[in-house]
Amino acid sequence: MDINWHFRRQALAEQFLDAFDRGSASSYTLFAPRRMGKTEFARQDLIPMAQERGYVTVYVNFWDRLDSPDGCFLLGLKDASTQLSAAKRLSNWFQTINKLGIKTPYGGIDIGTQTAESENLNLDLITGGLDEILGIGKPVLLILDEVQHLATRPEFEPLVFALRGLFDHHRQQLKVVYTGSSRNGLNTLFKRKNAALFSSSQQIDLPELGSPFLEHLSHAFFQATQRHLRLAECQTAFRQLKKIPYDYQQVIDILMRQGGTDIESVTQCYIQEQGFSDEHADIWQSLKPVDRAVLRRIAEDTINGLYTQSSMNYISEQLGLDAIERPTVQNALNRLKNRNIVASTGYGQYDFEDPHFKDWLLQMADNE
């Protein structure tokens, strides 16, 4: 018996594609922290639905080859060729890319050492590949996964410039979904003056999963084991895992192998084995005192901005000072952002990139 463990986010996929079909949007930016399921959504929900609607889909993951985002793009174009006719796959471009080969963490042939000459060749191949696919006349959906990686090195800017020109020229036919797991990384990419590729994209946070997701996995669990899980206990476990689907799925997998239905106990063991507390303690110890004070304020404050008088008073009191200057707080905030510990969520508002770290810090404060 085939058991369907994948929980479909059909409504979200329809939201994207309906907007593309109407022409009311040409791109979206989808944010979610790591392990929240955005890649699974893109590959198992959005792509199949788009193909059913007649789109040619191109999926690019910039974490496949961290040193060569253009190589990642070529890999995505090569994979997309399977959707094309046999005659189209015999074109000069596809013959060239097949001879060249692409190396990924999962195997393949290396495209060679990255040089200025090879970079220009790769950019030409990317432009040519998209032109080949767009030349079919069908709408094209391009998904750029972990796109914030393009902002990590200045040598990636030529690719950003090339993509910007392509997207502007083919806006009517080419629809783009950018995904990212770092708010700070995406913010950096959006605000770059030299290569502001994504400033016009509509930004959406991947919605949190709730009871329907838990019920779906509980049903699959019953199909696999003939054991029932209580919804209330599943909800408690999911909250303890900060509603991270990947971690919850790992807990379900452990429970399947160990037997029984005590999901709360397995969840506690999983949290301890992951070493969240040790990792957070190490980060905390590495911070400057002012960085810690700013981080405490961000963790405890959910209403006021960081630079309000009450926040400035809080930070100075944490440090045993009569007052603190705004630039000192700004420097501390920049250090926290550069380490991807916090990110901006709006004007004057900040939050943790890792919800486990925030919870750890609040628990530590309660125990002091």
- For residue range 189-199, list pLDDT tens digits in order: 777 655 555 55
Beta carbons of 53 and 21 less than 8 angstroms apart: yes
Is the pLDDT assigned to residue 113 strictly greater than 50? no
Q: Is the pLDDT of residue 172 over 80?
A: yes
In this predicted structure, which of 156-160, 216-220, 290-294, 324-328 has the lowest mean pLDDT?
Answer: 156-160
Model-level pTM?
Answer: 0.82
Tell me the mean pLDDT in the region 274-288. 86
Q: Above 80 in pLDDT, residue 276?
A: no
Euclidean distance between CA atoms 48 and 45, whole angstroms: 6
- The answer as to CATH 1.10.10 being correct for domain 278-367 is yes
Residue 107: band (very low, low, confident or very high) from pLDDT cuts 50, 70, 90: very low
Q: Return the pLDDT at 57.
A: 97
- Of 243, 251, 277, the residue nearest 362 (C-alpha): 277
Average pLDDT over residues 39-51: 97
Band (pLDDT 50/70/90 cuts) for residue 138 is very high
Query: Cα separation of 57 and 64, whole Å?
Result: 18
Q: Does the pLDDT value for residue 259 go beyond 50? A: yes
For the chain, helix (H) and strand (E) counts, in that order, are 17, 9
What pLDDT, on the 0 to 100 scale, is given for residue 41?
Answer: 97
| pLDDT confidence of residue 179 | 93
What's the confidence (pLDDT) of residue 106?
39
- Residue pair 290/332 in contact (Cβ under 8 Å)? The answer is yes
More confident residue, 106 or 184: 184
User: What does the pLDDT average to over 294-322?
Assistant: 87
Output 16 or 193, whichever has higher pLDDT.
Answer: 16
Which amino acid type is present at position 169? Answer: H
Q: How confident is the model at residue 200 (pLDDT cuts 50, 70, 90)?
A: low
Q: Over range 97-120, report the average pLDDT.
A: 51
Lowest-pLDDT range, 31-45, 50-64, 96-110, 169-183?
Answer: 96-110
What is d(CA 254, CA 261) in angstroms, rounded to the nearest whole number? 11
Least confident of 5-14, 153-162, 300-309: 300-309
Average pLDDT of the residues in 141-161: 90
The architecture that CATH gives domain 10-205 is 3-Layer(aba) Sandwich (3.40)
Distance CA 294, CA 288 (A): 10
Which residues is 142 bridged to in the sheet? 58, 176
Mean pLDDT of 271-284: 83
Chain centroid, CA 291 distance in Å:
26
Reported confidence tier of residue 34, pLDDT bands at 50, 70, 90: confident
Asked if residue 50 lies in contact with residue 141, where contact means CB atoms within 8 angstroms, the answer is yes
Tell me the pLDDT band of 201, cut-offs 50, 70 and 90.
confident
Given a cut of 80, whether residue 341 has pLDDT beyond it is yes
- 336 pLDDT band (50/70/90 cuts)? very high
Is the predicted pLDDT of residue 40 greater than 70, yes or no?
A: yes
Mean pLDDT of the chain: 86
Where residue 252 falls (left for φ over 0; alpha for ψ -120 to 50; beta otherwise) is alpha
CA separation (Å) from 209 to 41, 242, 276, 283? 12, 11, 22, 29
What b-and-e string marks burial along 242-261, b requiring 16 or more CB atoms within 10 Å of the CB? bbbbebbbbbbeebeeeeeb
Alpha helices in 102-230 (DSSP H): 116-134, 157-169, 183-191, 211-225
